[in-house]
Amino acid sequence: MPVHIEEMTTDVSVIEGDLPLSPAQIEMLVKAVMKKLAERQQDAARLSEATKLRRQSTEPFELG
């Protein structure tokens, strides 16, 4: 059965009977995927903000 999450698509096959992963393992996998997707979204937002053209310059950064 195809699964679509934003830009990621995969095919998943489930064998009748026992699931190949325990519910705890599935939960850990889902959390890891969600964390990675959030990190990629944050990276994209930072890149967009860093390369955005602005109408005025920002104030000078002073080390202090």
Whole-number pLDDT of residue 8:
66
Report DSSP letters for 6-25, one per residue: TTEEEE----SSS-SS-HHH
Considering the domain boundaries, does residue 15 fall inside one?
Answer: no
Considering the domain boundaries, does residue 33 fall inside one?
Answer: yes
Give average pLDDT by consecutive 10-residue segment, the chain, 64 residues: 66 72 89 93 90 76 73
Range of the domain at 42: 21-48
Whole-number pLDDT of residue 13:
74
Whole-number pLDDT of residue 30:
92
Q: What are the two backbone dihedrals, phi and then psi, of residue 38, each rounded to the nearest 5 degrees?
A: -65, -40
Considering the domain boundaries, does residue 9 fall inside one?
Answer: no
Whole-number pLDDT of residue 64:
63
Considering the domain boundaries, does residue 63 fall inside one?
Answer: no
Considering the domain boundaries, does residue 53 fall inside one?
Answer: no
